Amino acid sequence: MRLTRALAGASAAALDELAGRWSARLRSEDRDDMTDDDLTAVLKGVARLAVSAVDTGGGLYSWSY
């Protein structure tokens, strides 16, 4: 729940900075851009879900394939 609250309370600038660090890490680990996704848009979307989860007392669930 701590991560959900942190995402819900993150500023746009903090999400932009996090997306930049995430992109840099992907590039350094794989020596290539691993994704065509707009990581800032992904984080902002998850942050909106986190706001809803906090407001309703719910949580977030994530899975990947």
> For residue 31, what is the DSSP state?
S
Distance from C-alpha of 63 to C-alpha of 65, rounded to nearest angstrom = 7
pLDDT at 36: 63
Say what percent of the chain tops pLDDT 70.
Answer: 89
> For residue 41, what is the DSSP state?
H
Give the relative orientation of helices 12-30 and 39-56 as an angle to the nearest 10 degrees: 130
Predicted structure pTM score: 0.78
HSE of 27 in the Cβ direction (CA atoms, 13 Å)?
9
Average pLDDT score, the chain: 87
Task: Report residue 64's pLDDT band, with 50, 70 and 90 as the boundaries.
Answer: confident
The answer to whether 44 touches 18, Cβ cutoff 8 Å, is: no
